[in-house]
Structure formats: C-alpha cells, structure tokens
Structure 1
Amino acid sequence: MTHGTRSHEPLANPARRAGGDAVVVGGGLAGVTAALALADAGVRVTLLEGRPRLGGLAFSFQRGDLTVDNGQHVYLRCCTAYRWFLDRIEATALAPLQSRLDVPVVDVARPEGRRLGRLRRDPLPVPLHLGRSLATYPHLSLAERARVGRAALALKGLDLADPALDDQDFGSWLAAHGQSARAVEALWDLVGVATLNAVAGDASLGLAAMVFKTGLLSDPGAADIGWARVPLGELHDRLARKALESAGVRTEIRTRVTSVSRDDTGRWRVEVPGETLTADAVVLAVAQREAHDLLPAGALDAPERLLRIGTAPILNVHVVYDRKVLARPFFAALGTPVQWVFDRTDAGGLRTGQYLAVSQSAAYDDIDAPVAALRERYLPELERLLPGARGAEVRDFFVTRERTATFAPTPGVGRLRPGARTKAPGLYLAGAWTATGWPATMESAVRSGVNAADAALRALGRPRPRHLFDVEEAA
C-alpha cells in the first residue's frame, strides 16, 4: 500500500457504536466485502486503503481517452459469492452472464490451417450437458475425447475434503488417467490456466479438482461466463464506494497502515501516519506478505507460512486497431502463445477502430519482457488468429503487468493458507489467498471477506445480516 494525501478529515474515532468498532485494512474485494458485511450488522467501520482507489488488483486507469482494465477479469455462474457482491453494490446488470456457456476456440497449429471449435453446453443434466460439445470438439481425436470423458468422471468422484489431493499435482493425475499432452493443452489447460493461473503440472490437484467439479460437473449452467461490460473501476471503485457510503462505512484512500497492535484495554490500535485509530476488531484484507508484516507477535502459530505462499504473474497485452478485426466478444487460442482475447472496445470507450485485450495467465516467460519484444511476439500471432488483423493499422500497443497477480496454486499450498481467525482475539484475515477452498479469484476474495466478517460478528455478539451471502451455499 502506498502513502499519499488522505481525502477526509482526521480519523479519530467518534463515540463508539453499540455494535462495536472495526477497522478494515485494504480496499480490494475482500476488504470491501468485509466492511459492507460488518456495517450491515450495525458495526461502525473504517476502511483504509493505501492506493488512490478501491478494487485491489481488479481496477481501471486512463490512457488518454481510453479506459483500461489492468487485466481481463471474468467470473462463472458458480461464483455465487461474487454474484452476491455484484448485487450488493447494484452492479449485476453491468456484468451479465452468458445465457449458455459458449467458448470459441481457434487452433492455428493444425497442418490444414486455422480451425475453429467451440466448447458449449446443451440444456441437459450433468454430464450430458457437455456431451455433444465434447463429441464434436475438433481439436482432439476421437480417442482423446473418449479418454477425456472417462477422466472427467474420475474427477467427479474425487473427495474435495481429502487433504491428500493438495499434495498431488494435477498434471500427473491427468497423465495417470490417460490424458495426452494434446488433451491437456486443448482442454484441461485451456480452462485451468485461466482459472488457476498455473499449468496442470504446477497446480494442486485439490484446487484443480475444485475448479472442474464446481465449474463443469456440478450444475449444467455452472460454467457460464460473465464479465464486466464497463470498466472494472466502475464496479469495484465507484459503485463499491457508493455502497460503502450508503452503509455508513468511512472510507479513506491514500492511507497507509504502519502497524497493528493491542493496547492495555484489549482494544486494537491501528497506526497511520500521524494518527491512531482504535477498534474492537481489525480485518487485514491485504496481500499475504503485507499481512505477515502487520501481524503482531503470536497472532499465528507459524507466520512464516505466509511467506511460503508463492505468487504467479499475469500479463495483459493491449492492442488498438484502426478497424474491427474480431467479430465475437472473446475467444481462446491453441497452437500459439496467445491464450484468451477479449473485445474491450465499448468498455474502453473507444469510438473508432477496435480495442483488444490479450490475457496471458502464468506468464512467467513474458512478464518482464520489454514492450518492443512483446509487440514483435504477439502482433504476428494475432494476425495468424485473426485474418482481419492482417493489414490493419495498430494505433496503440501497450502492456499491463501484475507480477504477483495471484497466489501460486502449487501442490501443498493448502496447508499454508490460514483461515479468517487468528490467535489474537479481534484480529482477522481476508484475501483470496486465505483458506476459502477456491483458487485466487474474485470469488475467493469475496468469500474471504464474508468469512472474516462472520468471525468478527460472532466475537462481537452481533447478529448476521439476513441478506449476507452464506458461504455454505456453494459447492
């Protein structure tokens, strides 16, 4: 969190509310969720964020007249907590879901040339809902498709509560269940890299099984894709801030927290430059390394575990063409370094031409590459994938880099992820990296905020808001 000028008057707490006082450190989705849940239960809440905006790692910025998301974020119909969050901030209509899963998949590595396939569902029960799509998927052989079906059934039979799954890697499990390298590339990693931010060989079987069982094998519509048709800042900053204000939360941006400690009375002291806040409860909704640095001694049995939770990068390549080169909202790609491509023209406010965002997860090889090298690498690939881009003028080319975009979902990470409660009464943790059972997604962030708020409300003796998302609802 960076330090700057605060936007409001001094932070000294006014008279304590009967419901207690809470300070939430961090204004990403986890922090905003925790603050809203606590305030809805009658707790007086102050939210502190070091950046000049809310939204954490899902935000927007201006580049001339273009509004740019730092990365393409999507969610699925099974992301029930994030859907609750959108509803809570009155943003559901701005980030609609597909009526039915439909993913165009373009392969440019086949000898016969560019080929289009689709992953889409039918209105049938699980697992028949994907049967026709899999049976006609042109990027796999008939034998590979049959083996994919058998592996999916084996995956459906795994017990997500089995801790042994966390110690295995997904790639080895797939190989043991007859999945070829081509099947991993053309199907399992096509979905898994985007949701886990890791290739199958680097991902925990437990997290991968959770993604595929919940997204593809739980409910016919679970994997329908949703994304914001407006800049993320409209959702996670402006509308979130409006909801916080309506709930009575005091929100302070450009406010860096320097320490968190308990005083002699058992209340919490939160230090910001020049001032001290006191509270009955504190939620640390920041990245794991920052949480480690702010935790007081004894708050966790082994705080060094937080530093052992690795991180994984995401790179986004942004290209503005002088004409329309992509007719569909998005597509995934095979046989090329390009992973997923989204049309962001309307959301970015572009009036002429077309603005595409290329989302590259687990981008270890490219995350520190110079822009010129990335331009040389990706523009020819987009021309291979999009015939309309051949001969089009590139009006702008730039990249956004999130070197620590998510926690790395490596085997064994499950035992490192802490729950919401700490050993220090009144101090709670939130963030997509905490023990939500989900990989590092917007869904995990919201669930963590609910978990932290629930724990704090129980300790404060406050009733749970009736409309608050119930974490137990989701698979």
Structure 2
Amino acid sequence: MAEQHDVVVVGGGLAGISAALRLADCGRSVTLVEGRPRLGGAAFSFRRGELWVDNGQHVFLRCCEAYRWLLRRVGALDQTTLQDHLDIPVLRPDGRRARLSRLPGVPAPAHLGAALARYGLLSPADRMRAARGALALRRLDPLDPALDAHTLGGYLRRHGQNDATIEALWGIVATATLNLRPDEASLALAAKVFRTGLLDSAPASDIGYATAPLGALHSQAAGDALRAAGVQVLLGTRVRAVEAGGVVHVPDVSGPGGWQADAVVLAVPHRDAFAIAPELSGTAAAPARGLGATPIVNVHVIYDRAVTDLPFAAAVGSPVQWFFDRTAGSEVRASRPGAQYLAVTVSAADDLVDVPSAAIRERFVAELARLLPAAGRAEVLDAFVTRERRATFRQAAGQAALRPAADSGLESIWLAGAWTATGWPDTMESAVRSGIRAAEAVGRVCPHDTLRFAA
C-alpha cells in the first residue's frame, strides 16, 4: 500500500519554499523534496576554497512585496540591504560618470524627470526624448494582453527613442530584469517592470540585495524556518515521476508504489516539470514546453586591494553590464586582507555563454580596468567564470500565452515557479508569488488570512 501524504512539494527553490511555508502555516502537513543537497534553487551560494560565491547577483526592489515577505518569514531580512532611495552609478569606459537617482520626497512620475535632468550620459535633447518615452510607457497597462505581441525596443522607437536613450537608459534596467535585449524582450513584461518598479511609485525602484551569501538566506535560514514550521525537508532526494491523482515516485524513499498525496505542488523549472510529469503535455500547460531559456554569465575578479568604493554600478558602452562589490559577504578578507571582490553580471549572454573561460576572464579584467582606473593598477589575485545556461525562461514577445496557471490540469497537481503565469518577469519575486499562489490554489489555506500583494 502506498504511503499516504497530505501535500508534497517537489522542488526546494524559492517557489517551493514559499509554497511549503504557506501551506504549513495554515495547518497542512507538508513534505518538501529537493534533488540537490541544498535549498535555494537558482539563487544559491557555493564554496570555492575559502571564498563564498553567489552563483549570480540577485537583486530585488522595494516593490517586491512577496520576496520581502519571504525574507521576513524566514528571519533573513537583516541579511539584506535596501536603498533609502534609488541611486545607480553608471560608468563609461571613457571616464564619464553619471547617476540615475531619485530625489527623496519627489512623487511619481516627477521623480523620474528630476533624475533625467541630472543624467549627464544623455544629451539635453536625449533627456527630453527619454522623458517622452517614460510618459509613453506610463500609459501602458501591463495587463493588456495585446502588449505581449510587441517588443520593448519596437515600442520605444515608435515613441521617439533612439539608440542612445535605449542603451544608456532603458536597456540598463530592461536587460537586467528581463534577461533579453530590448529589441527581443516582451513589451508586456517591460511594461510591468517600468510601471511597477519605476513609474507608478517613487520608492518602488529602490534596490535591495543580500549582504550575506545567498545560501545563508535561501538555504540555511529557509531550511530552519521550514523545519520549525513542521515541514519534512528531504534534500539530496530526487523525484522520478509525478502522476495525476497525486502519485509521487521517489526512488529508495517512497517504495515501489510511490507516495499517495492529497496534493502535489510541482515547483521546478519548466523543463524539469515536463520530464517529471509527462502527462502535462496533454493539458493546457503544454505550451510552456516552448518557453526556452536565456543564459547569464558572471565574472568574478579578486584584486589585492580596493579598486572602487561603489557598492555596485551599471556600465554603458562596455560588455560589463553591472558589477557588485561582494567583498563583505564572501569572507575573502579572512584569507586575503585588503582584497576586494567584484562580481560582474552579463545578462542576455547568448553570445558569451560558450566562450572559453580564459578569454572571458581576459576580456572582462581589461574592461573593469577601463571602467575603474584603480583596477588597472591592482594585482588580480583570482578571476573565474560562472554560467547559468538556463538562468530564466526566454522572456520574448509572445511569452504570456506559454505560461500556465497554477492549476496544472492534472488531478491533485499544481504548478509553481517563476515561469508560471504570475504576470511578473522571471525573478525571485515571481517565484515567491507563484509558490504562494499554488499553495492557495491547493485549497483549505487560511481563507481568512490570504496574503495580498499589489498585482
């Protein structure tokens, strides 16, 4: 006879963690199964000698209410920092610098006008052009399904934007958040990013990020919170198959007949979901097989001395899109006093992901020296490359029709993950929202205490 379970959550990323916590908080008995020896999914840390390395630089905004709920729920909010007001240093290799920053107390959308007025990387004419582009974006409704047939780049050009404004302004935000260049990225998702994160509320765009290794938040703190909530957490345990009706096959754990669960939340990437539950191919979720993926490449450079006092910066006119100072959270100075650790993030990295690591290291060490003169005078103690080949689903025009609802169409099986139909880009915020949504779709989940976040 199959072992009986109430709810089984398959996948220990942010979606699975959020679903399991929400279900457990409302009295359900939950078993979470994760194939890797850690939690955290696509936002994790690993050891490289004495160094703690995040697989990539993951940021959130003040408007990311669900992710911030998760941080509070697992007791990790104090391991993050959040700006008092948006302030992005932007560098060019020719030495020119500017800041995209808002003045505290200036309401939306006037706050963006004030920021553009001081943004010296655009000419006065281009700043006026960018202001008209912002007004055009603010007229868009992210819920309008017609937007998803168009690209952000096409829309911007139809509203007077030129290559300079797209590269030095819109692309800085869009490429990082959508992991695609504006000329391919979905206008619907771009409208969500710019309306929710920048144009509708002045404080919404303030940037936050972890000050400790991501594993401390998403694996250690999350694991402690799950166990304290009564969730059975099985790490290093792979689910071989999930069948309609709530049958879960876990080799060496579930026995030959599998587990019989009242509900299963399948909180894994879309490729894995279809591999684990092939029956999904016969449901309304089937189009999600075509979501594809876009890579992100990260270049990690450790210098023998401090080369910048910036906590992070964006760059234009350079293959360096963003870099972050990860010195404090990496413990690098425990073994290398005085060293500084910079992590470069390159989104939409299709052209870079298969380049040999040696060539990537050489190119980006040189580029950092162009952006930061002190880096050219410092000794590079170490440089290495990490690659996330399937960092996000491909957030191109037409993506909305491919993203499924939480209801999988299979009896007793629900879907979670940033790739599901949250209305948000493939981000930590989307992952957490999807987990909460799947938990509430399972039913019997505190109807008097439903979590409510802004759409």
Task: Tell me if both proteins adopt one fold, taking TM over 0.5 as the criterion.
Answer: yes
* Cα shift at 1:376: 1.7
Which whole-Å CA distance do the structure 1 matches of 2:268 and 2:359 have between them? 33
User: Given the alignment, which residue of 306, 320, 324 partners 1:324?
Assistant: 306
Contact 1:31–1:449 (8 Å) recurs in 2: yes
Q: Give the corresponding residue for 2:373.
A: 387
Change in CA separation of 1:465 and 1:327 when aligned onto 2, cut-off 3 Å: farther
Q: Give the corresponding residue for 2:88.
A: 103
Q: Give the corresponding residue for 2:49.
A: 64
Q: Does the residue aligned with 1:440 lie in a helix, a strand or coil?
A: coil
* Cα shift at 1:129: 1.3
Q: Give the corresponding residue for 2:347.
A: 361
Q: How does 1:8-19 map to 2 (within 5 A)?
A: 13=3
Equivalent position amino acid for 2:101 in 1? R
What is the CA deviation profile of residues 3-22 of structure 1, one whole-angstrom value per residue up to 9, with x for unaligned ones?
xxxxxxxxx857x6xxxx10
User: Given the alignment, which residue of 233, 256, 263 partners 1:251?
Assistant: 233
User: Given the alignment, which residue of 234, 249, 253 partners 1:271?
Assistant: 249
* Cα shift at 1:151: 1.3
Contact 2:9–2:30 (8 Å) recurs in 1: yes
Contact 1:299–1:424 (8 Å) recurs in 2: no
Q: Give the corresponding residue for 1:240.
A: 222
Which whole-Å CA distance do the structure 1 matches of 2:284 and 2:260 have between them? 26
What is the CA deviation profile of residues 35-55 of structure 1, one whole-angstrom value per residue up to 9, with x for unaligned ones?
001111111000000011000
Q: How does 1:64-213 map to 2 (within 5 A)?
A: 64-108=49-93, 113-122=94-103, 123-213=105-195
Equivalent position amino acid for 2:399 in 1? V
Q: Give the corresponding residue for 2:414.
A: 428
What is the CA deviation profile of residues 182-232 of structure 1, one whole-angstrom value per residue up to 9, with x for unaligned ones?
100000000111111111001010000110000111111000000000000
Equivalent position amino acid for 1:371 in 2? S
Contact 2:274–2:281 (8 Å) recurs in 1: no
Whether 1:474 aligns to 2:443 is no
Whether 1:441 aligns to 2:424 is no
What is the CA deviation profile of residues 332-367 of structure 1, one whole-angstrom value per residue up to 9, with x for unaligned ones?
111111010100001000112101100111111111
Which whole-Å CA distance do the structure 1 matches of 2:293 and 2:211 have between them? 28
Whether 1:416 aligns to 2:402 is yes
Which whole-Å CA distance do the structure 2 matches of 1:93 and 1:303 have between them? 38
Q: How does 1:216-227 map to 2 (within 5 A)?
A: 216-227=198-209
Q: Does the residue aligned with 1:398 lie in a helix, a strand or coil?
A: strand
What is the CA deviation profile of residues 141-192 of structure 1, one whole-angstrom value per residue up to 9, with x for unaligned ones?
1111111111111111112221110010111100000000010000000011
Q: Give the corresponding residue for 1:29.
A: 14
Contact 1:299–1:423 (8 Å) recurs in 2: no
Contact 1:41–1:465 (8 Å) recurs in 2: no
What is the aligned-residue RMSD (CA, Å)? 1.4
Change in CA separation of 1:416 and 1:437 when aligned onto 2, cut-off 3 Å: same
Contact 1:281–1:426 (8 Å) recurs in 2: yes
Q: Which moved more, 1:303-312 or 1:403-412?
A: 303-312
Which whole-Å CA distance do the structure 1 matches of 2:82 and 2:164 have between them? 29
Contact 2:313–2:324 (8 Å) recurs in 1: yes
Q: Does the residue aligned with 2:332 lie in a helix, a strand or coil?
A: coil
Contact 2:32–2:234 (8 Å) recurs in 1: yes
Which whole-Å CA distance do the structure 1 matches of 2:65 and 2:144 have between them? 23
Which whole-Å CA distance do the structure 1 matches of 2:190 and 2:280 have between them? 33
Equivalent position amino acid for 1:192 in 2? A
Equivalent position amino acid for 2:187 in 1? L
User: Given the alignment, which residue of 440, 446, 451 partners 1:463?
Assistant: 446
What is the CA deviation profile of residues 391-437 of structure 1, one whole-angstrom value per residue up to 9, with x for unaligned ones?
21111111110000001110001000001012223210000000000
Q: Does the residue aligned with 1:278 lie in a helix, a strand or coil?
A: strand
Contact 2:112–2:199 (8 Å) recurs in 1: no
The normalised TM-score by structure 2 is 0.95
Which whole-Å CA distance do the structure 1 matches of 2:373 and 2:302 have between them? 16
Which whole-Å CA distance do the structure 2 matches of 1:76 and 1:465 have between them? 28
Which whole-Å CA distance do the structure 1 matches of 2:165 and 2:118 have between them? 14
Change in CA separation of 1:421 and 1:303 when aligned onto 2, cut-off 3 Å: closer
Aligned length in residues:
445
* Cα shift at 1:369: 1.1
Contact 1:312–1:405 (8 Å) recurs in 2: yes
Q: Give the corresponding residue for 1:9.
A: none
Listed as ranges, the gaps of 5+ residues in structure 2 are: none
What is the CA deviation profile of residues 257-310 of structure 1, one whole-angstrom value per residue up to 9, with x for unaligned ones?
111124xxx5x2210113222210000000101111222536753554122101
Q: Give the corresponding residue for 1:374.
A: 360
User: Given the alignment, which residue of 385, 406, 410 partners 1:399?
Assistant: 385
Q: Does the residue aligned with 2:358 lie in a helix, a strand or coil?
A: helix
Which whole-Å CA distance do the structure 1 matches of 2:445 and 2:48 have between them? 45
Change in CA separation of 1:422 and 1:252 when aligned onto 2, cut-off 3 Å: same
* Cα shift at 1:463: 2.4
* Cα shift at 1:115: 0.7
User: Given the alignment, which residue of 296, 299, 305 partners 1:314?
Assistant: 296
Q: Does the residue aligned with 1:211 lie in a helix, a strand or coil?
A: helix
Q: Give the corresponding residue for 2:327.
A: 345
* Cα shift at 1:469: 3.1
Change in CA separation of 1:462 and 1:436 when aligned onto 2, cut-off 3 Å: closer
